[in-house]
Amino acid sequence: MTENEIAKIREKIFQSKKILITTHINPDGDGIGSGLALVNKLIKLKKKVSFINRDPLPKIYKFLPGSKRVKNLSKINENFDLAIILECPEIERTGNIIDFKKQVKYSINIDHHIGNMMYADLNVIDSKAAAVGIQIYKMMKGFNWYIDKDIATCIYTSIIIDTGSFRYSNTTPEVHLITAELIKAGANPEFIASEVYATTKNSTELFRRMLSELKIIKNIGWSFITKDMLKKTRADESDTDNFINSIRSIKEVDIAVLFKEYGKNITKASFRSKNGFDVNVIAKKFGGGGHKHAAGCVISQPLKKAEKSVISEIFQYYKDKIK
Protein backbone atom coordinates (compact mmCIF):
# COMPACT_ATOMS: atom_id res chain seq x y z
CA MET A 1 0.00 0.00 0.00
CA THR A 2 1.61 3.26 -1.12
CA GLU A 3 1.76 6.46 0.94
CA ASN A 4 -0.51 8.12 -1.61
CA GLU A 5 -3.11 5.39 -1.28
CA ILE A 6 -2.98 5.60 2.51
CA ALA A 7 -3.35 9.39 2.42
CA LYS A 8 -6.28 9.20 0.01
CA ILE A 9 -8.16 6.56 2.05
CA ARG A 10 -7.58 8.56 5.23
CA GLU A 11 -8.89 11.72 3.60
CA LYS A 12 -12.01 9.96 2.35
CA ILE A 13 -12.71 8.28 5.70
CA PHE A 14 -12.37 11.58 7.56
CA GLN A 15 -14.59 13.39 5.04
CA SER A 16 -17.36 10.79 5.23
CA LYS A 17 -20.13 10.42 7.77
CA LYS A 18 -22.02 7.40 6.46
CA ILE A 19 -19.75 4.51 5.47
CA LEU A 20 -20.69 1.19 3.91
CA ILE A 21 -18.40 -1.81 4.22
CA THR A 22 -19.12 -4.89 2.14
CA THR A 23 -17.45 -8.08 0.98
CA HIS A 24 -18.21 -10.83 -1.49
CA ILE A 25 -21.15 -13.21 -1.64
CA ASN A 26 -20.69 -16.25 0.62
CA PRO A 27 -18.39 -14.21 2.81
CA ASP A 28 -15.31 -15.85 4.31
CA GLY A 29 -13.02 -15.12 7.23
CA ASP A 30 -10.84 -12.70 5.29
CA GLY A 31 -13.72 -10.49 4.15
CA ILE A 32 -15.46 -10.68 7.51
CA GLY A 33 -12.29 -10.24 9.59
CA SER A 34 -11.05 -7.30 7.50
CA GLY A 35 -14.47 -5.68 7.52
CA LEU A 36 -14.92 -6.04 11.28
CA ALA A 37 -11.42 -4.69 11.94
CA LEU A 38 -12.56 -1.55 10.12
CA VAL A 39 -15.99 -1.47 11.78
CA ASN A 40 -14.45 -1.66 15.27
CA LYS A 41 -12.27 1.35 14.56
CA LEU A 42 -14.79 3.44 12.59
CA ILE A 43 -17.34 3.21 15.40
CA LYS A 44 -14.80 4.75 17.74
CA LEU A 45 -14.29 7.55 15.23
CA LYS A 46 -18.05 8.20 15.55
CA LYS A 47 -18.73 7.23 11.96
CA LYS A 48 -22.13 5.86 10.98
CA VAL A 49 -20.85 2.56 9.66
CA SER A 50 -22.82 -0.32 8.11
CA PHE A 51 -21.29 -3.69 7.29
CA ILE A 52 -23.73 -5.28 4.87
CA ASN A 53 -23.21 -8.33 2.65
CA ARG A 54 -25.58 -10.19 0.42
CA ASP A 55 -25.18 -13.47 2.31
CA PRO A 56 -25.37 -14.18 6.04
CA LEU A 57 -22.42 -14.20 8.42
CA PRO A 58 -21.11 -17.79 8.75
CA LYS A 59 -21.74 -19.03 12.29
CA ILE A 60 -18.05 -19.68 12.98
CA TYR A 61 -17.36 -15.91 12.84
CA LYS A 62 -19.96 -14.95 15.45
CA PHE A 63 -17.24 -14.81 18.10
CA LEU A 64 -15.57 -11.87 16.34
CA PRO A 65 -15.87 -8.51 18.10
CA GLY A 66 -18.59 -6.48 16.43
CA SER A 67 -20.10 -9.44 14.58
CA LYS A 68 -23.62 -8.43 15.68
CA ARG A 69 -23.31 -5.44 13.39
CA VAL A 70 -22.87 -7.58 10.27
CA LYS A 71 -26.09 -7.60 8.26
CA ASN A 72 -27.17 -9.26 5.06
CA LEU A 73 -29.50 -7.75 2.49
CA SER A 74 -30.16 -8.46 -1.17
CA LYS A 75 -30.86 -4.75 -1.82
CA ILE A 76 -29.84 -1.65 0.14
CA ASN A 77 -32.14 1.37 -0.05
CA GLU A 78 -29.81 3.90 1.56
CA ASN A 79 -27.15 6.28 0.33
CA PHE A 80 -23.57 6.44 1.61
CA ASP A 81 -20.73 8.92 1.50
CA LEU A 82 -18.20 6.14 1.15
CA ALA A 83 -18.18 2.42 0.34
CA ILE A 84 -15.21 0.19 1.15
CA ILE A 85 -15.42 -2.98 -0.90
CA LEU A 86 -13.30 -5.85 0.41
CA GLU A 87 -11.97 -8.87 -1.48
CA CYS A 88 -14.12 -8.47 -4.59
CA PRO A 89 -12.18 -8.84 -7.86
CA GLU A 90 -15.30 -7.80 -9.78
CA ILE A 91 -18.05 -5.46 -8.62
CA GLU A 92 -20.58 -8.25 -9.28
CA ARG A 93 -18.95 -10.33 -6.49
CA THR A 94 -20.68 -8.00 -4.02
CA GLY A 95 -23.95 -9.56 -5.19
CA ASN A 96 -25.11 -6.17 -6.52
CA ILE A 97 -26.64 -5.18 -3.21
CA ILE A 98 -26.37 -1.50 -4.05
CA ASP A 99 -25.97 0.78 -7.07
CA PHE A 100 -22.46 2.00 -6.35
CA LYS A 101 -22.71 4.76 -8.97
CA LYS A 102 -25.99 6.25 -7.75
CA GLN A 103 -26.10 5.46 -4.04
CA VAL A 104 -22.44 5.91 -3.10
CA LYS A 105 -20.43 9.13 -3.43
CA TYR A 106 -17.00 7.50 -3.40
CA SER A 107 -15.90 3.88 -3.53
CA ILE A 108 -12.68 2.17 -2.46
CA ASN A 109 -11.83 -1.33 -3.67
CA ILE A 110 -9.33 -3.14 -1.41
CA ASP A 111 -8.35 -6.58 -2.72
CA HIS A 112 -5.52 -9.05 -3.25
CA HIS A 113 -6.75 -10.85 -6.37
CA ILE A 114 -4.63 -10.79 -9.50
CA GLY A 115 -6.87 -9.51 -12.29
CA ASN A 116 -9.01 -7.27 -10.08
CA MET A 117 -11.21 -5.23 -12.45
CA MET A 118 -10.38 -1.81 -10.89
CA TYR A 119 -14.06 -0.86 -10.81
CA ALA A 120 -13.97 1.70 -7.96
CA ASP A 121 -12.98 5.35 -7.59
CA LEU A 122 -9.87 4.20 -5.75
CA ASN A 123 -8.44 0.72 -6.29
CA VAL A 124 -5.92 -0.57 -3.77
CA ILE A 125 -4.78 -3.93 -5.07
CA ASP A 126 -1.89 -5.95 -3.66
CA SER A 127 -1.76 -9.42 -5.18
CA LYS A 128 1.19 -10.27 -2.92
CA ALA A 129 -0.81 -9.74 0.28
CA ALA A 130 -1.63 -13.12 1.82
CA ALA A 131 -4.96 -11.72 3.00
CA VAL A 132 -6.93 -8.49 2.66
CA GLY A 133 -6.48 -8.43 6.45
CA ILE A 134 -2.77 -7.80 5.84
CA GLN A 135 -3.66 -4.81 3.64
CA ILE A 136 -5.98 -3.48 6.36
CA TYR A 137 -3.23 -3.94 8.96
CA LYS A 138 -0.74 -1.97 6.87
CA MET A 139 -3.32 0.70 6.18
CA MET A 140 -4.07 1.11 9.90
CA LYS A 141 -0.36 1.26 10.70
CA GLY A 142 -0.05 3.86 7.93
CA PHE A 143 -2.82 5.88 9.64
CA ASN A 144 -0.97 5.49 12.95
CA TRP A 145 -4.11 3.89 14.37
CA TYR A 146 -3.77 1.97 17.62
CA ILE A 147 -4.48 -1.72 17.03
CA ASP A 148 -6.43 -2.94 20.04
CA LYS A 149 -7.34 -6.50 21.01
CA ASP A 150 -10.62 -6.46 19.05
CA ILE A 151 -9.00 -5.28 15.83
CA ALA A 152 -6.09 -7.71 16.31
CA THR A 153 -8.54 -10.59 16.76
CA CYS A 154 -10.34 -9.71 13.51
CA ILE A 155 -7.14 -9.35 11.47
CA TYR A 156 -5.60 -12.51 12.99
CA THR A 157 -8.72 -14.41 11.88
CA SER A 158 -8.49 -13.07 8.35
CA ILE A 159 -4.86 -14.22 8.19
CA ILE A 160 -5.41 -17.79 9.40
CA ILE A 161 -8.29 -18.26 6.98
CA ASP A 162 -6.36 -17.11 3.92
CA THR A 163 -3.08 -18.83 4.83
CA GLY A 164 -4.66 -22.10 6.02
CA SER A 165 -3.23 -21.45 9.49
CA PHE A 166 0.19 -20.47 8.13
CA ARG A 167 0.44 -23.51 5.85
CA TYR A 168 -0.19 -22.17 2.35
CA SER A 169 2.57 -20.92 0.08
CA ASN A 170 1.48 -17.29 0.67
CA THR A 171 2.82 -17.53 4.24
CA THR A 172 5.77 -15.15 3.98
CA PRO A 173 8.05 -14.02 6.82
CA GLU A 174 6.01 -10.79 6.83
CA VAL A 175 2.83 -12.76 7.65
CA HIS A 176 4.54 -14.10 10.78
CA LEU A 177 5.97 -10.70 11.74
CA ILE A 178 2.52 -9.12 11.54
CA THR A 179 1.00 -12.06 13.42
CA ALA A 180 3.54 -11.55 16.22
CA GLU A 181 2.33 -7.94 16.49
CA LEU A 182 -1.32 -9.05 16.55
CA ILE A 183 -0.66 -11.49 19.42
CA LYS A 184 1.19 -8.73 21.29
CA ALA A 185 -1.89 -6.56 20.74
CA GLY A 186 -4.08 -9.23 22.36
CA ALA A 187 -5.15 -11.74 19.70
CA ASN A 188 -5.43 -15.16 21.36
CA PRO A 189 -4.34 -17.94 18.97
CA GLU A 190 -5.79 -20.82 21.00
CA PHE A 191 -9.16 -19.17 21.50
CA ILE A 192 -9.49 -18.04 17.88
CA ALA A 193 -8.49 -21.46 16.51
CA SER A 194 -10.96 -23.16 18.85
CA GLU A 195 -13.74 -20.95 17.46
CA VAL A 196 -12.81 -21.02 13.78
CA TYR A 197 -11.92 -24.71 13.62
CA ALA A 198 -14.47 -25.86 16.19
CA THR A 199 -15.83 -29.32 15.69
CA THR A 200 -18.62 -30.91 17.71
CA LYS A 201 -19.88 -34.42 18.34
CA ASN A 202 -22.50 -33.80 15.64
CA SER A 203 -20.20 -32.20 13.09
CA THR A 204 -17.72 -35.07 13.57
CA GLU A 205 -20.46 -37.57 12.79
CA LEU A 206 -21.40 -35.55 9.69
CA PHE A 207 -17.75 -35.54 8.67
CA ARG A 208 -17.61 -39.32 9.05
CA ARG A 209 -20.64 -39.68 6.78
CA MET A 210 -19.13 -37.28 4.26
CA LEU A 211 -16.00 -39.48 4.21
CA SER A 212 -18.21 -42.52 3.57
CA GLU A 213 -19.30 -40.87 0.30
CA LEU A 214 -15.79 -39.78 -0.73
CA LYS A 215 -14.73 -40.73 -4.24
CA ILE A 216 -11.21 -40.43 -5.57
CA ILE A 217 -10.73 -40.95 -9.31
CA LYS A 218 -7.42 -39.98 -10.87
CA ASN A 219 -6.34 -36.91 -8.90
CA ILE A 220 -9.87 -35.63 -8.28
CA GLY A 221 -11.47 -36.18 -4.89
CA TRP A 222 -15.07 -35.27 -4.16
CA SER A 223 -17.97 -35.89 -1.83
CA PHE A 224 -21.30 -34.37 -0.87
CA ILE A 225 -23.55 -33.28 1.99
CA THR A 226 -27.29 -33.75 1.61
CA LYS A 227 -30.01 -32.05 3.62
CA ASP A 228 -30.86 -35.47 5.00
CA MET A 229 -27.29 -35.97 6.28
CA LEU A 230 -27.50 -32.63 8.09
CA LYS A 231 -30.84 -33.54 9.61
CA LYS A 232 -29.78 -37.02 10.75
CA THR A 233 -26.58 -35.79 12.40
CA ARG A 234 -28.18 -32.60 13.77
CA ALA A 235 -25.13 -30.77 12.48
CA ASP A 236 -25.17 -27.24 11.14
CA GLU A 237 -24.43 -26.32 7.54
CA SER A 238 -21.66 -24.00 8.71
CA ASP A 239 -20.00 -27.01 10.38
CA THR A 240 -19.02 -28.15 6.91
CA ASP A 241 -16.86 -25.09 6.13
CA ASN A 242 -13.57 -26.89 6.74
CA PHE A 243 -14.52 -30.29 5.27
CA ILE A 244 -13.23 -29.42 1.82
CA ASN A 245 -9.71 -28.84 3.17
CA SER A 246 -9.58 -32.43 4.45
CA ILE A 247 -10.26 -33.67 0.94
CA ARG A 248 -7.66 -31.31 -0.50
CA SER A 249 -4.97 -32.51 1.90
CA ILE A 250 -5.15 -36.13 0.72
CA LYS A 251 -1.90 -36.87 -1.11
CA GLU A 252 -3.58 -38.43 -4.16
CA VAL A 253 -5.90 -35.44 -4.59
CA ASP A 254 -4.99 -32.33 -6.58
CA ILE A 255 -8.55 -31.11 -7.14
CA ALA A 256 -11.08 -31.37 -4.30
CA VAL A 257 -14.80 -30.68 -4.63
CA LEU A 258 -17.54 -30.71 -2.02
CA PHE A 259 -21.17 -30.54 -3.13
CA LYS A 260 -23.85 -29.31 -0.76
CA GLU A 261 -27.54 -29.73 -1.34
CA TYR A 262 -29.19 -26.37 -0.69
CA GLY A 263 -32.57 -27.06 -2.23
CA LYS A 264 -34.19 -29.39 -4.72
CA ASN A 265 -32.56 -27.54 -7.59
CA ILE A 266 -29.81 -25.65 -5.81
CA THR A 267 -26.38 -27.17 -5.23
CA LYS A 268 -23.38 -25.35 -3.90
CA ALA A 269 -19.95 -26.58 -4.99
CA SER A 270 -16.73 -25.68 -3.15
CA PHE A 271 -13.38 -26.23 -4.85
CA ARG A 272 -9.84 -26.48 -3.53
CA SER A 273 -6.71 -27.41 -5.44
CA LYS A 274 -2.96 -27.78 -5.19
CA ASN A 275 0.07 -28.51 -7.39
CA GLY A 276 -0.82 -25.85 -9.92
CA PHE A 277 -4.36 -26.96 -10.75
CA ASP A 278 -6.68 -23.99 -11.20
CA VAL A 279 -10.22 -24.37 -9.82
CA ASN A 280 -11.18 -20.75 -10.42
CA VAL A 281 -11.63 -21.55 -14.13
CA ILE A 282 -13.97 -24.43 -13.26
CA ALA A 283 -16.03 -22.36 -10.81
CA LYS A 284 -16.28 -19.56 -13.40
CA LYS A 285 -17.76 -21.97 -15.96
CA PHE A 286 -20.64 -22.43 -13.51
CA GLY A 287 -21.03 -18.71 -12.78
CA GLY A 288 -18.88 -18.68 -9.63
CA GLY A 289 -15.36 -17.60 -8.82
CA GLY A 290 -12.61 -17.22 -6.27
CA HIS A 291 -8.88 -17.86 -6.41
CA LYS A 292 -6.79 -20.35 -8.33
CA HIS A 293 -6.66 -22.73 -5.33
CA ALA A 294 -10.01 -21.97 -3.66
CA ALA A 295 -13.26 -21.20 -5.44
CA GLY A 296 -16.98 -21.88 -5.35
CA CYS A 297 -20.21 -21.72 -7.32
CA VAL A 298 -23.93 -22.26 -6.98
CA ILE A 299 -25.57 -24.50 -9.57
CA SER A 300 -29.30 -24.58 -10.34
CA GLN A 301 -29.42 -28.35 -10.53
CA PRO A 302 -30.22 -31.14 -8.08
CA LEU A 303 -27.20 -32.49 -6.20
CA LYS A 304 -26.55 -35.63 -8.23
CA LYS A 305 -26.90 -33.82 -11.55
CA ALA A 306 -24.67 -30.96 -10.43
CA GLU A 307 -22.07 -33.50 -9.27
CA LYS A 308 -22.10 -35.13 -12.70
CA SER A 309 -21.88 -31.80 -14.55
CA VAL A 310 -19.00 -30.47 -12.49
CA ILE A 311 -16.92 -33.63 -12.35
CA SER A 312 -17.21 -34.21 -16.10
CA GLU A 313 -16.31 -30.56 -16.68
CA ILE A 314 -13.15 -31.02 -14.59
CA PHE A 315 -12.19 -34.15 -16.50
CA GLN A 316 -12.90 -32.35 -19.76
CA TYR A 317 -10.93 -29.24 -18.83
CA TYR A 318 -7.94 -31.14 -17.57
CA LYS A 319 -8.09 -34.11 -19.89
CA ASP A 320 -4.45 -33.78 -20.91
CA LYS A 321 -3.13 -32.84 -17.50
CA ILE A 322 -4.92 -35.25 -15.16
CA LYS A 323 -2.80 -38.06 -13.83
What does the binding site for a second copy look like in residue numbers (CB under 8 A)?
164-169, 171-174, 176-177, 179-181, 183-184, 189-190, 193-194, 197-201, 204-205, 207-208, 211-212, 214, 216, 246, 249-252
State in angstroms the smallest separation of the CB of 252 from a second copy: 5
State in angstroms the smallest separation of the CB of 199 from a second copy: 5
Residue nearer to a second copy on the CB measure, 80 or 243 = 243
What is the Cα–Cα distance from 283 to 280, expressed in whole angstroms?
A: 5
DSSP label at 58? P
Residue nearer to a second copy on the CB measure, 35 or 133 = 133
Residue nearer to a second copy on the CB measure, 202 or 301 = 202
Q: What angle do CA 24, 255, 228 make, to 5 degrees?
A: 70
Q: How many other CB atoms are found less than 10 A from the CB of residue 274?
A: 17
The strand pair at 70-72 and 48-53 is best described as parallel
In the chain, the largest separation of any two C-alpha atoms, in whole Å, equals: 57
State in angstroms the smallest separation of the CB of 279 from a second copy: 17
State in angstroms the smallest separation of the CB of 285 from a second copy: 27
State in angstroms the smallest separation of the CB of 3 from a second copy: 24
At 288 the three-state DSSP class reads coil
What is the Cα–Cα distance from 17 to 108, expressed in whole angstroms?
A: 15
Contact (CB, 8 A) for 116 and 125: yes
Residue nearer to a second copy on the CB measure, 188 or 301 = 188
Residue nearer to a second copy on the CB measure, 172 or 309 = 172
Contacts of 320 (CB under 8 A, 6+ apart): none
